[in-house]
Amino acid sequence: MKWRRVLWWVLVVFALYAVYRSPEQAADFVRGVGEWLGRAVNSIMSFFNGLLS
């Protein structure tokens, strides 16, 4: 269990470092992930709407 906590903190520190070094690229990455998730949710909703129609 201890390695999970260490890995979690390494990821958090890396994310903070990446945002500090290049905030524009970090924002583009977050925006891209948000757009991808939005498309995925819309696709799932369309699938279920098609099943119910």
Q: Is pLDDT above 90 for 1?
A: no
Question: Can you give the pLDDT at residue 13?
Answer: 94
- As a whole number of angstroms, the distance between CA 21 and CA 16 comes to 9
Q: List helix spans (H) across the chain.
A: 2-21, 23-52
pLDDT, one tens digit per residue, over 23-44 is: 999 999 999 999 999 999 999 9
Nearest to 30 by CA among 40, 49, 41, 15: 15
Q: Is pLDDT above 90 for 53?
A: no
